[in-house]
Structure formats: C-alpha cells, structure tokens
Structure 1
Amino acid sequence: MTRPGPPPREWGNTPQLWRGVAWNWPALQRWTFAHLGALDPQRPVQVVQGNRETNAAHLVSTTWGEHLARLDQDPRATDEPVGHLKEFDLLKHFPALRDDLDPNALFPPGSVISHQAWIGPAHARTGLHYDLLDNVALTLRGRKRFYLLPPGSVEAAQQVSRKFDRWARLSVLGVDALAQRFEAQGLAAPQVVDLGPGDALYVPHGWWHEVVNLEASVLLSGFFGSRQRTWGCWLQTGALQLAHNAGLWRRGHCTCHCKAG
C-alpha cells in the first residue's frame, strides 16, 4: 500500500499511501494557523459541530480568523467545542496559496479536479462514507487517521444510510461499531493509515473511510476523475440536489441542511 516518493501514473483500484510526496512544497513551512488566519480574518465561514455523517449536527457561524486562532489555542483553555471547517474551497477563496503547492503532480493527466479543504481541531471526525469520485487526501499540517473498508463491506452489513449527501454515500454506523460487528463475525478489521505533514493517501471511489484528526490539522482533498465520469456524476447528483432542495427527496435528512446556530 505504501509508495515512497512521487505517485505513479496508474492509480489502480486500491488505496495507496505516498509518504512525503509534498515534503518540499512551500505550504509545509508557510501554512501555520497564524499565517492562514491573517489572510482575511473577517471573512465569514460556517463550521460543523458534531458528526453530521452519522448523527445530527449543526453549523456555527464564525470568521476565518477566529476559527484559525482557536486551532492554535490549548483545547483545555475552554469548554466550548471548536468546529470543523469542512469542504471549504480554500484555493478559490485564497488563490495566492496555489503558489505554495504543486497539486498537478498528484493527479492523472487530463483529470477534472475539485480541491476542498478540511481544517479542524484534534478529535474532529468525518463519519464513515465513500465518495463518488476518486480522492487524493494530502495532509499539510497536523496528523490525521484514516480507517478504510473495501467496497461492499458496509453494504453487506446492511448499514448504508438513507441520509442524502450529493457527492458521497454514508454509513448508519461509525467504524468502531462496525469493527465490533466484523470481529464478532470473524471478518477483517478496517485498515488504519496515519498521515503526517506532506503525506498523501489515494482513496478510490467506493472505498469506505472514516477520518479522525489526531492533531489540529489542515487537509487538502482533490476529488477527480475523467471528464466523462466527472460530468456524468455532476449531472446525476445535480438533479438529486435540485429535488432535495425543493423538498422532494430526503427532505430534512441530509448533510447539507444542518441546523444553523
């Protein structure tokens, strides 16, 4: 699974870990929470509190600067939970940050790529799910842990959630509860992969994964595919999103309309 150095030109259908693939990128030295927060401190953002994939969750309004500042604080200094900024289009909001990266090195030529960032505190969690597109997850600050289950495993356990998410499919249970079931049935345990700064993990579409922050961290994901596959997914999921927004599909049972606070 582990491939030191640069990624190959053929990605395959199983996860691959690329240790240190971005060690020489300027982002690893420059992207402190203080540096990022100073880019536009008053920019409004909404952070997620709770695990919206498997449980009820809600959105909290804050500012970019305040969120980044809280990630630099000792978590024991306050009882107020620090939210998780998810699916944030970091490079769209701050295009100058592209100069600190070399993302094209991580993707097949001709891919359609959507970059999104996850920026949150230690212990923040993204619940068990699989994505409809392939994904390269790159840790630029802090450490993260991925739990991986192969396609079909959650389906076989009959634990696929009906909760709507445009670009993913969700599990009813988290990875800990599923692992206990698998152990009782003599099935394989989830794979565990830890990422540090500069490490990247390729997760093919259909592979179930749950992600936990071991430290406050910045992760940049690149969801990608061929033009045909990406535009096909965009059209299909867009139709469902329109129906959902109109209240005709999974109304009130989704990750996109969390309770705001």
Structure 2
Amino acid sequence: MNPTEIAASDLTAADVFVREVAEPCRPVVIRGLVKSWPAVTAAERSAAHFRNYVARFDAGVVAEAFIGEPHIAGKYYYDDDLKGFNFTRARMRFAEAIDRIIATSGRADERSMYVGSLPMDQYLPGFSTENALAFLDTRIAPRIWLGHASNVSAHYDTFDNVACVVAGVRRFTLFAPETISRLYVGPLDHTMAGQPVSLAASSPADDERFPLFREVREQAIVAELSAGDAIYVPKLWWHQVEATSAFNVLVNYWWDAFSGGTDAPSVALLLSMITIAERPPAERNAWRAFFDHYVFRTNGHPLAHLPADQHGVLGPLQPDNYRRIRAHLMQALRGG
C-alpha cells in the first residue's frame, strides 16, 4: 500500500499541519520538506561535505554506537535465543563516529556502524537554528541518526514523529496500531534501543513461526524517501526503517501533538497493566465497557444527556478538570 503524500508547499502554517496531517492519525509523506536545509545541501555534495558542515556545531560529546559484523548486513537484532544481540556497542565522540562511518562506507568487508537518537541541542548545538521546521514549536528538540546501510526492526513510538531524510534513501514499512496482535511482539523489557519490536515484520514471507502475521503482511504501507523528503509517523504506528545507501543521515522530531498536560497515554497503559490485565475475563470485560464509555467515548460524550454546566470533571479538561482529576489520582497512588 502507498502512503498519503503532500507537497511541502501545502504546509502553510502550524494549524494546517495539525488539521491536515496529524489529526487523521495516518502516515503522510511530505515531499521536499527539508530540501532547502543547508545540511541537505552539504550532504548532496558528499559525505565529507556533510561532516565538515556539522563540525561547526560539534560539542565534543560522547555517543553510543551500534557496531555489527559484516555478516549481519546492518540488521541490528537479537541473537537466536532472544537473550542477547547480534551487535556490540562502543562509546566515542561524535566526530570520531562520523569519521569512522565515512571511512568505511560502501565496503562490504567492513563492520557496519549506526549512531542514533542523539539530541541535537546536546551534540550539535546551533544545528537546529539553521535547519528548522517552521510548523513545529521551536521547543521541540530534534535528534540525529546516521550510519551505514541499516535495518531497524518494526517498532512503535509513544510520540508523534516527523522524520526528515538528510542524506541517503530511507524505506519506511508501516503497520497500523490495530495489527499489534498479529505482529508477534518481542520482550518489553529487553530491547535493542528502548522500544519492543515486531519479530514477524522482518521475517521471510514463509516463516511458519508467525502464522497470524500473514493476515496483515499485505496491509503494510511502504514509503521510500530521498534526501529532502520527510514522513509523519503517528504515535503507536509500527514502523521498520531501512537506510539503503552507503551513508545515511536522518533528523527526527518527537512530540505529543495532542497533549492535554504533562501525563502521557503510555502511563495509563502501564497502570492498567498492573491493575486490570490479570483480573478474571468477565471483570476485564466489565472494565472494557467502562473504558469505552468514559475514555474512548464510543457512544459520544458520557453526560451528553445533561446540561454542560452539570458535567463536572467530565467537562473540558482545561483549564481546571485536568488538575482536579490528576490530584485525585496522585492521592490514590500514594494510598491517601
């Protein structure tokens, strides 16, 4: 399946991005979004030009790199028993990492290297001023990812994501949140880089270990992005990210486009796991009915039959109800 695409010129303001891109909660490719970035221009000349460009911002901070032997071909993953990994980690300064990546790019006999999720303002302060997205709040700090050809297993994030290709080509393969029960998710607390991954999504088509995945394999949305392009990945959408060029750079932005306060939905999920998940099936079904009614509101507002001034804590969260409900919750968690 192909994703929705829009041109960068269509994003005239922040409210347009929220309304046209974020609210539908579907992946959207934004062609040419960062084509005019100085970083993209430098990378188009050569990897060395990009290195020289970012050297102006380098704060000399140490980063962690993934290093893989040639036989893994950039597929950073578990070992066969899921207890360990097929790569090693090494710590080095950003400048050393990019030098080593460039020096060995395109050489099949060399170990691959991948450095990711580095906060730009910590590693390359000033970069985001010269390379910015006009429709995002300047307080949303970008991160940089760079390396050889690589394959990052399908995973989800609990934040909205705009990923911008600065150098190379990236292929995103995405699955909707509703496919989770057929993706054969790996361990939640033993992961490559923080988020659990789908064990099935990058498996061979005839892999008999994952029969349910056959139902959703063809539902994948596949997007190929060149330098200057970007993609919006909504929170909870599973995405496998393949960097297919010898030298690749990506900058991404994570934030919650619809946050009502400081608390994330993932916190509610974790709390529900310890309070509801192992109760008897009949009781879980009862709680599901209440969640559908009060939280997911499958039948509309729970108190639509009452005047708005009688909705109490089920009225608008802001400016007062968020604080009231949160205070009650915190008191309950403290055992008060």
**Same fold per superposition (TM over 0.5):** yes
Identity %: 20
Match of 2:143 among 104, 116, 139: 116
1:27 aligns with 39
Distance 1:206 1:99 in 2: 29
In structure 2, runs of 5+ residues without a counterpart are 44-49, 69-74, 80-84, 272-336
State the AA in 1 paired with 2:151. R
Please give the per-residue CA displacement for 1:149-170, whole angstroms capped at 9, x wherever unaligned.
Answer: 11121x2216122233696442
**1:233 and 2:258 equivalent?**
no
1:134 aligns with 160
Alpha-carbon RMSD across the aligned residues, in angstroms, is 3.3
SS at match of 1:75: coil
**1:5 and 2:8 equivalent?**
yes
Q: CA deviation at 1:42?
A: 5.4
Which structure: greater helix fraction? 2
Q: CA deviation at 1:172?
A: 2.7
SS at match of 1:60: strand
State the AA in 2 paired with 1:162. P
- Distance 1:150-1:205 versus aligned 2 partners, 3 A rule: same
In structure 1, runs of 5+ residues without a counterpart are 241-261
Q: CA deviation at 1:24?
A: 1.7
**1:204 and 2:234 equivalent?**
yes
Distance 1:187 1:24 in 2: 36
Q: Is the 8 A contact 2:34 2:228 kept in 1?
A: yes
Q: Is the 8 A contact 1:134 1:205 kept in 2?
A: yes
Distance 1:227 1:169 in 2: 23
- Which structure carries more relative contact order (alpha carbon 8 Å, separation 6+)? 1
**1:47 and 2:65 equivalent?**
yes
1:246 aligns with none
| Larger-Rg structure | 2
- Distance 1:224-1:183 versus aligned 2 partners, 3 A rule: closer
With normalisation by structure 2, the TM-score equals: 0.60
Please give the per-residue CA displacement for 1:82-139, whole angstroms capped at 9, x wherever unaligned.
Answer: 321111112332222123212242x3x6x973422211112x1211101111111011
With normalisation by structure 1, the TM-score equals: 0.75
Match of 1:72 among 86, 89, 102: 102
2:181 aligns with 156
SS at match of 1:66: helix
Distance 1:125 1:37 in 2: 26
- Distance 1:229-1:33 versus aligned 2 partners, 3 A rule: farther
- Distance 1:205-1:177 versus aligned 2 partners, 3 A rule: farther
Distance 1:48 1:85 in 2: 6
- Distance 1:223-1:230 versus aligned 2 partners, 3 A rule: farther
The total of aligned residue pairs comes to 234
